[in-house]
Structures are given as structure tokens and as C-alpha cells.
């Protein structure tokens, strides 16, 4: 590829449109299907004769659809890089922010430029900015003109033209149907966030990239650790993973290392999730946080249905100034939103643990407001159990709320909610919720009392840790060693 570029450079082609550092398919990971489909576009440039003779349909426009940060731009650049052709890119929103008539003429210029530089790829990012359905109530003349110009440019391509238009969007649904007609963007490729294996590949691609000074960075991470990381990075897009690696490199750099290790990546994840660190608190305040988070982490670890612990921290962070217990994301549960009674009851224990811990350590008169956020959650869980999902022993307390849409002021719809419970039933519901809450609180307090040695050890470790953070593994090790059998065998 570099040689082809060099040859073109010698012939005096304007190089500003060629990537100095061509992106290649090997730079894009976790999107095997998209790469395979785009190979054909590369073939079209590299073996045009054979392509024509084979009678294969000449690609004209390729639309990459998918959420932001999944590598659509990167893929387009990789096609240009692999084929060694010019790459002209523009964000469609730049067209529409201009004065009337300017957008259309920019489109004309762009296509003319591409023809003069051919073979070339035009890449239009966020094409929905110009490609929305024309006319309609919120019609926009400028945008319509720009879109018309783009359509007519694409229609005007000769078969011999060595120019392919690629575009990206995450709003295919709003695109004007005229754009995706044959001869225009008739190849649609979906690009999604990487799956389990894909995330590992993306991490490896970015971990293997050279440092700004050209030096190769390297990593010392086992396959097992990569699996663990992929598990923790569920739902991360390629761009988010690239970000994590960047942060990890900076963190390692602060310690004078160029070899990235597992811990750098998990620390980068902490920064991403919890925000950067803030000024440390006074010892007294720290102890309060430790009492709360250690109880939460302990109870989470003892609850079999609750997701495994990722980490627990009392280091004040931008997003969580009061410390946080972080659990692994359960992708499936998040997708289906299906919770069992057992899960919700265990969750209730975990959110009550902080307050129970405070009472145990400081005494009933000394509990503080620090647990506020979790107590609000507790109420919500109890209401889910008793009313919304009617999973308590009396399913008859099920929500009888009905909601029906009402028109108000023209097209605007409003949901009106009517409670159908009688006052009698409401009192029963209230009692049941109160009973459940008190019972769970008593249970969780007893659990902490039973495991007081383990609890104290967790508080101590959390406060003594230089980063005031314990990994899930460390908490599990302490719990395995100190918790009582009865709870471990649950």
C-alpha cells in the first residue's frame, strides 16, 4: 500500500487527500462481516478489469449503518488504505449549516475533486443530516437542494468512474428512500458494537499500536485476563475500548512503564465509570464511606443471585463522590429486564446493607444521611416486589393502576394514570411493603453481625488500600476466608 502511495506521489497526485498513515483492515477489529463485504469494494479498485469481466455489479454507494463509535469511519478509511486510493471525507452537517445554494455547490465541488483524483473514495459522515426525507412539514429547502445535487451526482457517474461514495449513519430510518435506490447507496452494511471475542480483538489492536514517538508499546496480559476484561467491558463500542486503552497507557506512563498490564485497563475502566478522582476526605468521613461500602460489598458477595463484584471504592470520584460498589454488568438481564423475586429480594438486602452497617458500627442514634440514595432504591424495589410485579406472598396486591392516553392541545398525547386500588387495599399494600422492608433490614443486620470479623476486615482493607479500592477478587478472597459457613453456602 505504501508503495502504491509512493508511486502516486511521484506522479504528482495531491497527497493531502491520501492518508499519510493508511488505515488497513487489520486496524479494524470485531466487525468481521463488514470487512468481508467491503473486501469487494477493495477488489473493485485493485482488479477493475477482472471485476468488470466477471459481470459483478459495480459498487457505487455503500451505506454503513450503526451506532456511533463502532468503526464506520475507520472502515471507510481502511477501504481507501487497502486499495491505496484517495480518501475525501466530509461531515454532512457541514453542508447544511451553510447559506442557501452553498451546500449544493459544495457537493458539486466534492464530486469534481474526487473525479480528478480518481481512483477515490468519498466518505460522507452523518449523511442523515442531508439525507432526511425531503419536503414534509419540517421541509428545509437548503437541505433538499443539497440532497438533490448529491443524487444527481451519483446518477451521473459513468461506469468507468473510479469513484465510490461511502456514507455513514445511525439513523437509517429517517433517510430519504431515494438515497437507497439501486445505483445509489444500494449496499447497506450494518456495523455494530463488537461481541465478546470482538472486544478482545479491538483491545489487542489498540494495545499493539505504536506510541506517538514511534516506539512500539506492548502488553503483558494473559488470555484469561483478556476474557475477564471483555466480560467487564460489555456493551462497549470500539471507540470506547480505544479510549480505555488510551487511559491505560497514560496511567502506565505515569509509572514510567510502556508495557501495559491488566491492572492498567481495570483502572482505566474505573476512571471511565466513576469519573476522575477528587480531593481525599477527612479520616472520619472516609470511615463512614468504608463502613457503608464494605457492608454493601460484603452482602453483594454473599448473595448468590447478585452479579459478581467488580470493585468497591471509597476514593471520592467525580461521578460518585460517596464511594461505590460496582457489579459486573449482566448483559442479558439488562436486555430482557426480567427479574425474579429471589433476585429482587437479594437486591433489597444489598441496598439496605450500608445503613445496617452504620447502625452496627456507630449505633442507632448515629446513622447518617449518607445512605439516602440507597434507601430510595430500597423503596422502589419493595414496591416492585409488592405492587408492580406482585411477587410477594399475596399476588392479589398487584398493581391495578391503569393508564390511558388523552389528547391535550392538538397532537400532544398525555398519559393519565388512574389508581384503582381501594383505600382498604392501599393500606394492606402499605403494610406489606413496610413488613418486607423491616424484615429484610433485620435479616441483613443479622447477617453483618454474624460476619462481623469479615466485615471489620473489609473496612480495614478498604481504608488501608493506597487507592482505597478493592477489586472483586480481593473482596471475594477476604469473604472466603472470614465469612461464616452458613452464609457462604447459601
Applying CB under 6 A, the residues found at the interface with ligand ADP are 28-31, 68-74, 168, 202, 205, 238-239, 242
Nearer to ligand ADP, 21 or 388 (CB): 21
CB of residue 155 vs ligand ADP: minimum separation in angstroms?
26
Nearer to ligand ADP, 239 or 367 (CB): 239
- Supply angle C-alpha 353, 356, 360, rounded to 5: 135
- The span from the CA of 41 to the CA of 281, in Å, is 58
- Give whole-number Cα distances, 219 to 181, 183, 209, 259, in Å: 47, 46, 11, 5
CB of residue 191 vs ligand ADP: minimum separation in angstroms?
6
CB of residue 27 vs ligand ADP: minimum separation in angstroms?
6
CB of residue 89 vs ligand ADP: minimum separation in angstroms?
10
- Supply angle C-alpha 92, 61, 137, rounded to 5: 45
Backbone angles phi, psi at 122, to 5 degrees: -100, 130
Nearer to ligand ADP, 73 or 149 (CB): 73
Nearer to ligand ADP, 68 or 156 (CB): 68
Q: Tell me the three state secondary structure of residue 405.
A: strand
- Rounded to 10 degrees, the C-alpha dihedral 199/200/205/211 comes to 100
Spatial contact of 237 and 279, defined as CB atoms under 8 Å apart: no
Nearer to ligand ADP, 30 or 81 (CB): 30
Q: Indicate the residue whose CB is closest to ligand ADP.
A: 238
**Half-sphere exposure (Cβ direction) of 221: Cα atoms closer than 13 Å:** 25
- The span from the CA of 131 to the CA of 128, in Å, is 4
CB of residue 168 vs ligand ADP: minimum separation in angstroms?
5
**Residues listed for the chain:** 490
**Half-sphere exposure (Cβ direction) of 91: Cα atoms closer than 13 Å:** 4
Alpha-carbon Rg for the chain in angstroms: 29
Nearer to ligand ADP, 62 or 356 (CB): 62
Q: Catalytic: 293?
A: yes
Instruction: Give me the catalytic one of 82, 201, 270, 293.
Output: 293
CB of residue 461 vs ligand ADP: minimum separation in angstroms?
37
H or E segment at 125? strand 120-125
- Which are the catalytic amino acids? 293
Amino acid at each position: 500500500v505504501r508503495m502504491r502511495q509512493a508511486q502516486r506521489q511521484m506522479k504528482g497526485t495531491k497527497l493531502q487527500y491520501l492518508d499519510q498513515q493508511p488505515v488497513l483492515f487489520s486496524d479494524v477489529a470485531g466487525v468481521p462481516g463488514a470487512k468481508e463485504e467491503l473486501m469487494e469494494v477493495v477488489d473493485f479498485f485493485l482488479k477493475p478489469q477482472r471485476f468488470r469481466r466477471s459481470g459483478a455489479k459495480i459498487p457505487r454507494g455503500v451505506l454503513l449503518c450503526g451506532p456511533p463509535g463502532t468503526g464506520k469511519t475507520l472502515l471507510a478509511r481502511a477501504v481507501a488504505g487497502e486499495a491505496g486510493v484517495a480518501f475525501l471525507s466530509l461531515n454532512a452537517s457541514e453542508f447544511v449549516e451553510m447559506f442557501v445554494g452553498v451546500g449544493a455547490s459544495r457537493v458539486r465541488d466534492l464530486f469534481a475533486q474526487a473525479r480528478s483524483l480518481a481512483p477515490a473514495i468519498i466518505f460522507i459522515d452523518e449523511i442523515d443530516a442531508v439525507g432526511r426525507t425531503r419536503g414534509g412539514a419540517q421541509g428545509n429547502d437548503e437541505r433538499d437542494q443539497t440532497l438533490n445535487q448529491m443524487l444527481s451526482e451519483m446518477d451521473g457517474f459513468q461506469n468507468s468512474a473510479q469513484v465510490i461514495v461511502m456514507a455513514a449513519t445511525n439513523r437509517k430510518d429517517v433517510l430519504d428512500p431515494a438515497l437507497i435506490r439501486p445505483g445509489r447507496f444500494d449496499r447497506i452494511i450494518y456495523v455494530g458494537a463488537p461481541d465478546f471475542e470482538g472486544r478482545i480483538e479491538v483491545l489487542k489492536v489498540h494495545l499493539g499500536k505504536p506510541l506517538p514517538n514511534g516506539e512500539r508499546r506492548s502488553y503483558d496480559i494473559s488470555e484469561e485476563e483478556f476474557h475477564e476484561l471483555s466480560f467487564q467491558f460489555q456493551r462497549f463500542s470500539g471507540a470506547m475500548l480505544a479510549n480505555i486503552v488510551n487511559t491505560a497507557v497514560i496511567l502506565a506512563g505515569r509509572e514510567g512503564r510502556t508495557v501495559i498490564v491488566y491492572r492498567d485497563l481495570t483502572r482505566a475502566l474505573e476512571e471511565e465509570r466513576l469519573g476522575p478522582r477528587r480531593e481525599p476526605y477527612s479520616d472520619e468521613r472516609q470511615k463512614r464511606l468504608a463502613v457503608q461500602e464494605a457492608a454493601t460489598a460484603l452482602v453483594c458477595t454473599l448473595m448468590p443471585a447478585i452479579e459478581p463484584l467488580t470493585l468497591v471504592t471509597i476514593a471520592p470520584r467525580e461521578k460518585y463522590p460517596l464511594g461505590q460498589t460496582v457489579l459486573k454488568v449482566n448483559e442479558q438481564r439488562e436486555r430482557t429486564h426480567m427479574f425474579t423475586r429471589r433476585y429482587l429480594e437479594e437486591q433489597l438486602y444489598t441496598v439496605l446493607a450500608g445503613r445496617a452497617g452504620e447502625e452496627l458500627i456507630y449505633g442507632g442514634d448515629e446513622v447518617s444521611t449518607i445512605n439516602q440514595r440507597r434507601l430510595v432504591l430500597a423503596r422502589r424495589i419493595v414496591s416492585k416486589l409488592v405492587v408492580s410485579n406482585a411477587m410477594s406472598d399475596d399476588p392479589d396486591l398487584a398493581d391495578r393502576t391503569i393508564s390511558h392516553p388523552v389528547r391535550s392541545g392538538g397532537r400532544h398525547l398525555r398519559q393519565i394514570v388512574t389508581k384503582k386500588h381501594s383505600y382498604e387495599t392501599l393500606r394492606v399494600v402499605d403494610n406489606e411493603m413496610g413488613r418486607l422492608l423491616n424484615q429484610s433490614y433485620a435479616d441483613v443486620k443479622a447477617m453483618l453481625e454474624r460476619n462481623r470479623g469479615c466485615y471489620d476486615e473489609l473496612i480495614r482493607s478498604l481504608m488501608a488500600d493506597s487507592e482505597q479500592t478493592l477489586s472483586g477478587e480481593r473482596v471475594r478472597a477476604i469473604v472466603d476466608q472470614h465469612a461464616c459457613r452458613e452464609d457462604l453456602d447459601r
